[in-house]
Structure 1
Amino acid sequence: MEGAQEYIDANSAVIGLIILAVMFVEFLRERYPVSVVSLLGACAFLATGLLDADGLFSAFSNSAPIAIGAMLILSGALMRTGAIEAVANVIVARAEKHPRLALIEVFAGMLVASPFMNNTPVVVIMIPIMFRLADVTGIPAKRLLMPMSILAVLGGCLSLIGTSTNLIVDGLAQEAGMLPFDIFEITPYGLAGLAAGIVGLLVLTPLLPKDLTSTEKRSGAAGGQHYLTELTIRAESQQIGKPVTKLPLFKRDAKLLGIKRGAETIRRDLEDHHLRANDRLVVRASAVELMTLRSSRDFDVGVTGTAGPPTKGDNVVETMVAPSHPWIGQRLGEIPFLHKLRVRLLGVARYNHLPGPDVTNVRIRAADRLLVAGDEVEIDRLRENQHLLGVDIAPTRAFRRDKAPIAVAALAVAVTLAALDVMSIAVAAILAVAAILVTRCIDAEEAWSAIDGDVLILIVAMLAVGFGLEEAGSVALMITWLTPLLIDASPALLVFLVYGFTVLLSELLSNNAVAAILTPIVIGLSRDLGIDPRPLVLALMIGASACFATPIGYQTNALVYAAGEYRFADFVRIGVPMNIIVGVAVCTAILFLY
């Protein structure tokens, strides 16, 4: 045993590289999730003694997973309060009229934001919006999410504060005696990479995957997550007398289909009508919008039978009509449980189609989904109905729109404090999480469920692997192999080699760790060669962030990898040529402009 350990210690650097190579092969084979392979890689370093317990646990103290977890909670709060939904509705409204222009506007807006705020929160916020855009435009989300991450990274390379990696390189350069980098000193070179990256994405678009994510499949199976419902105007409503189409709800994810006034149903020229007491509005609404409307003082949502509305309780369940239901083909208003139970039928949804003409006159079909409200006793009786399947608490919750300003302010303050270098993004995000929890923008259980554990395990495991490679001497060995090439290279070739080697390491290790390792080496090497270190540091700064070939290459890559359910090979196929295209543009710009 001692002999084996002595052999491992004597060849630790090579063994570390072998473990890394095996991990990369397994990433490509995809027999196990990337997070599992990363965790097994960290365990391999532990088992061989190349990584000790302190090194493993140091990965948990890294700010990257903490910052991402906190940002995911803040994103969850923005969704819970309807803030993201409000932005998405504006974008979707544009996309319905001008889909291509809307996509360009969204990406342009993201590029404007990325240089001034950390690109990780930008991507966290944009992921649900991209899914909405995918639904409206018919473009699979996988063809939007990866380009979004790439553009967010390139946008972060337009200023010194766009990524934390830039700030780390600047700090280490100052410690080595270099003058501080101006906030926009990196911009010309970042713009060259951005321009090349946009061209590269346009060329490589046919290589992007076209299959749907499980989220999109669920959305399609739910009829686009929209329900047919009816809103009855209460006699005391403040909306009486106002134009029907001016109601705030129709600026959100709801659409007016008709007005039932007495025995008359109005379908045309709806904008010419004003609300009256007891008008019934036939509306198409998303599940979350439908749940939110229940708290309105202006409407009664849904319909009830002869048994009357619920007397108490506020349970909402979702159920599906079984193929064996004896009333299939009959009107929904005649369905027996509405007349036997004191419940309220809130809405009905149908696969890939909106039923109609209104709730009570919908002809029942197998697999129709119903949202039903009632007290616990009535809901228990509903569960006993053998012709209704899966009667369970509805997973959708109402928006907390009155809390939206708090959630938006919490995120804005966190990003501003981080951008001004008052505190790190991780600390600022944790404080923001505390603020949105104590003000009940989001409940604790919802906050924890917003965290994607797969992403966090992936990042923590790869941080441990990176630490193990450093401790084993594998990184130093790679640098030793490359140093002779750097010493003999011309200044022009040196820029390309520094950029390429930085990208290579950043695809496998933490960007910040690569920046911390290579910055002093590059500065020392340039001084030994008697050349200005600044262009080399610029190449290193951009190369440490602009890595697209693996989902572990950058934090935003990991986020969209999980959300978009990509394969590891998808990143390799798109990312390798993108690395080359962007790298050549950035290095060329450094040589010509510096």
Structure 2
Amino acid sequence: MTIEQGIVFAVLGFTLVMFVWNRLRFDVVAMLALLAVAITGLVPTEKLFAGFGHPAVITVAAVLVISQGLVNGGVVDNIARLLGKIGHRPTLQVLTLTSVVALCSGFINNVGALALLMPVAIWMSREAGRSPSLLLMPLAFGSLLGGTMTLIGTPPNIIIASYREGGTFGLFDFAPVGVAITLAGIAFITLVGWRLTPRREESSSQAKLFSVGEYLTELRVPKESAHAGSTLHSLLTGAGDEPDVVVLALIRGEQRQTAPSTYKVLQVGDVLLVEADTTSLQAFLDNTGLELAHQATGPNEETDDVSDQPIEEEQQASVPLDKGELHLVEAVIAPESSLVGQTANRLQLRERYQLNIVAVARLGYRLKQRLGDIRFNAGDILLVQGFEDSLSGTLTELGCLPLAERGLRLGSPRNTAMASGIFLASIAAIVAGLLQAPVALVAGAVAMVLVKLMSAAEAYKSIDWSVIVLLAAMIPVGQALETTGGAGLIASQMLVLGEDLSVASVLVMILVATTLLSNVVNNAAAAIVVAPIALSLASELNIPPDAVLMAVAVGASCAFMTPIGHQSNALVMEPGGYEFGDYWRLGLPLTVVVTVVAVPVIMLVWT
């Protein structure tokens, strides 16, 4: 082993450990790895940032923009709308959901496809009176399977295509293997797999988890109140310890202001619509001297103690929660959300975004901490309140995905036709050989901006820049593994183990090794690390390089056994009430099915 090889192995080892540790963002870890190979001289300065202009990186960015254009045009939502008609039979629901998400994932970002269909799956679960855990894991795994069918279905396929000598793979070159494992995977999940998902019965009543009506109360500022003429902020901070009370609206005469500013000056007779548990509400009343605007027991009855008198939602006719500008929505925090690790108080969500955090749930249970002090985790479910016309955009900006309350954006027929036409034109140009994939897809992305399916700002926001930076930084690191001879050294050691193995056994070894790696690190990073090693091994064993590249592509995309293997797995963890160890119960047998189907098809088509 040379010094250069030792350095590149140390850098890769450190990088993989940091990926698994998950204390730093994966794009930051990738940049540290890039800087390490630059400082040690393994990659020349003039080639150090070439990854940012790599065709694979450009293609991934263009696919993300086109995916957003298809969403804005209502293409996928039109498909999702039809799913509500399939009935309550679990087998039929699983089959339909996994099939639709797989089809969508073949052509748009698989996380985006999952985000669109996850609310539908939760709604279907609630309508059938079952736990969402029954449908959400199959839905996530279906999105991973579908991404294997085309070049643009998932970043690992785009990365693998760049390693092919003598030209890249075509748009549908992945289809023989991808379609085979997708069909086999869907069949397994539908017939057997969904029965292996855990039953989180507490999640089956998710609607009751955020039963806001049980905690809504109207409070009035009485005559001669010490808080008349002072600000809402003064009221809240003057109630002893910071109260666990959320002010949803302020009613003054015939006027109503939702999510009022904490600097709003209160007047005698103002009515505050507040959300609080009964204990916090009683303490708040005792400390502030406010009074109940009306009683929960009836219009002519009185009570001195509110702790046992919850106000039902239907009694709040004066301040409806589902009409006008006041809107409540459940949303899940995505892994890359700016909320992760922050608190509502620190982010000033009410002042900056006019957004109230009404409740937070984690691992299937509503958190009882003070809302302003809860440090958000990826996968937390939030019950948020905001203005109906801006709530969707605010959640997108914060990196949150609306759940069952999200209305489908069907779009106008004209927008749907334009989005579909632009996308199909890009695909046709690639298939016909008129344009290379990066050029055709960038042209499609630009066209969607020109026809105003999205603004330029929205196009930039639709790109997951953390993934772009990861790819751009790891590509030179992967090349360093190859140029220093490190890939060949690993391949020669693997050759000792595999010299007496058949071609099928070698492909199984590559596919399984890549799968195991992709379950603990980002799948694109796994593809970048394993691809040069697989090519070196193929050269030593005289195996067609396309065959080993396909094995790497399948292994990198099929991370079913952990919630950290792919964003799709992480996104369903909280809404489904899953635990870390739940994934392997369905993921392990599904991985076996994929391996058993993929290897013979790879040998048939590519050897």
TM-score, length of structure 2 as denominator length: 0.55
1:127 to 112, 115, 121: 115
1:447 to 456, 459, 473: 459
**Paired residue secondary structure (1:440):** coil
- State the 1:411 CA deviation: 1.9
Q: What does residue 124 of structure 2 align with?
A: 136
- State the 1:60 CA deviation: 0.5
2:450 pairs with 1:434? no
Q: What does residue 409 of structure 1 align with?
A: 421
2:317 pairs with 1:362? yes
Residue deviations 1:359-381 (CA, integer Å, cap 9, x gap): xx81448x8896179xxxxxx9x
Give 1 or 2 for the bigger CA radius of gyration. 1
- State the 1:146 CA deviation: 3.5
Q: Is the 8 A contact 2:171 2:430 kept in 1?
A: no
Q: Which amino acid in the other structure matches residue 42 of structure 2?
A: L
Q: What does residue 15 of structure 2 align with?
A: 23
Q: What does residue 49 of structure 1 align with?
A: 41
Return the alpha-carbon distance in structure 1 between the equivalents of residues 602 and 197 of structure 2.
Answer: 30
**Paired residue secondary structure (2:449):** helix
Return the alpha-carbon distance in structure 2 between the equivalents of residues 155 and 471 of structure 1.
Answer: 31
**Paired residue secondary structure (2:30):** helix
Q: Is the 8 A contact 2:98 2:143 kept in 1?
A: no
Return the alpha-carbon distance in structure 1 between the equivalents of residues 184 and 17 of structure 2.
Answer: 32
- State the 1:136 CA deviation: 3.3
Q: Is the 8 A contact 2:550 2:602 kept in 1?
A: no
Q: Is the 8 A contact 1:499 1:543 kept in 2?
A: yes
Q: What does residue 325 of structure 2 align with?
A: 371
Q: What does residue 266 of structure 1 align with?
A: none
Return the alpha-carbon distance in structure 1 between the equivalents of residues 253 and 4 of structure 2.
Answer: 79
Return the alpha-carbon distance in structure 2 between the equivalents of residues 496 and 63 of structure 1.
Answer: 29
Q: What does residue 485 of structure 2 align with?
A: 473
Q: Which amino acid in the other structure matches residue 412 of structure 1?
A: L
Change in CA separation of 1:435 and 1:514 when aligned onto 2, cut-off 3 Å? same
**Paired residue secondary structure (2:325):** strand
**Paired residue secondary structure (2:49):** helix
2:184 pairs with 1:195? yes
- State the 1:417 CA deviation: 2.5
- Counterparts of residues 378-417 of structure 1 (less than 5 Å): 394-396=390-392, 401=412, 402-417=414-429
Q: Is the 8 A contact 1:329 1:364 kept in 2?
A: no
What RMSD, in angstroms, separates the aligned Cα atoms of the two structures? 5.5
Change in CA separation of 1:82 and 1:586 when aligned onto 2, cut-off 3 Å? closer
Return the alpha-carbon distance in structure 2 between the equivalents of residues 174 and 75 of structure 1.
Answer: 26
Q: What does residue 336 of structure 2 align with?
A: none
**Paired residue secondary structure (2:52):** helix
Return the alpha-carbon distance in structure 2 between the equivalents of residues 38 and 565 of structure 1.
Answer: 25
- State the 1:127 CA deviation: 3.2
Q: Is the 8 A contact 1:35 1:458 kept in 2?
A: yes
- State the 1:147 CA deviation: 0.3
Residue deviations 1:57-116 (CA, integer Å, cap 9, x gap): 11101233322322222232333333333222222x1356445413312322455677xx
- State the 1:198 CA deviation: 5.7
Change in CA separation of 1:557 and 1:17 when aligned onto 2, cut-off 3 Å? same
Residue deviations 1:203-245 (CA, integer Å, cap 9, x gap): 59857898999xxx99986989xxxxxxxxxxxxxxxxxxxxx
**Paired residue secondary structure (1:544):** helix
Return the alpha-carbon distance in structure 1 between the equivalents of residues 454 and 181 of structure 2.
Answer: 41
Change in CA separation of 1:510 and 1:522 when aligned onto 2, cut-off 3 Å? same
Q: Which amino acid in the other structure matches residue 568 of structure 2?
A: V
Q: What does residue 79 of structure 1 align with?
A: 71
Q: Is the 8 A contact 2:65 2:463 kept in 1?
A: yes
Q: What does residue 108 of structure 1 align with?
A: 99
Q: Is the 8 A contact 2:198 2:582 kept in 1?
A: yes
1:460 to 467, 472, 476: 472
Return the alpha-carbon distance in structure 2 between the equivalents of residues 205 and 569 of structure 1.
Answer: 16
Q: What does residue 145 of structure 2 align with?
A: 151
Change in CA separation of 1:167 and 1:394 when aligned onto 2, cut-off 3 Å? closer
**Paired residue secondary structure (2:555):** coil
**Paired residue secondary structure (1:50):** coil
Q: Is the 8 A contact 1:150 1:548 kept in 2?
A: yes
**Paired residue secondary structure (1:77):** helix
- State the 1:21 CA deviation: 2.0
Return the alpha-carbon distance in structure 2 between the equivalents of residues 21 and 185 of structure 1.
Answer: 30
Return the alpha-carbon distance in structure 1 between the equivalents of residues 172 and 429 of structure 2.
Answer: 16
Return the alpha-carbon distance in structure 2 between the equivalents of residues 423 and 167 of structure 1.
Answer: 16
**Paired residue secondary structure (1:547):** helix
Change in CA separation of 1:579 and 1:54 when aligned onto 2, cut-off 3 Å? farther
**Paired residue secondary structure (1:546):** helix
Change in CA separation of 1:569 and 1:433 when aligned onto 2, cut-off 3 Å? farther
Residue deviations 1:327-370 (CA, integer Å, cap 9, x gap): 85599xxxxxxxxxxxxxxxxxxxxx99559xxx81448x8896
1:560 to 568, 572, 586: 568
- Counterparts of residues 483-494 of structure 1 (less than 5 Å): 483-491=495-503, 493-494=505-506
- State the 1:36 CA deviation: 2.8
Greater mean deviation of Cα atoms: 406-415 or 80-89: 80-89
Greater mean deviation of Cα atoms: 393-402 or 322-331: 322-331
Q: Which amino acid in the other structure matches residue 40 of structure 1?
A: L
Return the alpha-carbon distance in structure 2 between the equivalents of residues 182 and 413 of structure 1.
Answer: 13
Q: Is the 8 A contact 1:330 1:364 kept in 2?
A: no
Q: Is the 8 A contact 2:27 2:466 kept in 1?
A: yes
- Give the count of matched residue pairs: 439
2:535 pairs with 1:544? no
Return the alpha-carbon distance in structure 1 between the equivalents of residues 528 and 97 of structure 2.
Answer: 29
Return the alpha-carbon distance in structure 2 between the equivalents of residues 512 and 416 of structure 1.
Answer: 28
Q: What does residue 24 of structure 2 align with?
A: 32
Q: Is the 8 A contact 1:74 1:411 kept in 2?
A: yes
Change in CA separation of 1:572 and 1:120 when aligned onto 2, cut-off 3 Å? farther
Q: Is the 8 A contact 2:38 2:45 kept in 1?
A: yes
Return the alpha-carbon distance in structure 2 between the equivalents of residues 209 and 42 of structure 1.
Answer: 44
Residue deviations 1:501-546 (CA, integer Å, cap 9, x gap): 66678857464786577458625632xxxxxx45x74354233333
Q: Is the 8 A contact 1:172 1:519 kept in 2?
A: no
Change in CA separation of 1:445 and 1:509 when aligned onto 2, cut-off 3 Å? closer
Return the alpha-carbon distance in structure 1 between the equivalents of residues 512 and 114 of structure 2.
Answer: 30
Change in CA separation of 1:548 and 1:135 when aligned onto 2, cut-off 3 Å? same
Residue deviations 1:147-169 (CA, integer Å, cap 9, x gap): 02331145459x9xx95578668
In structure 1, the gaps of 5 or more residues are 1-8, 225-304, 309-315, 332-352, 374-379, 384-388, 527-532
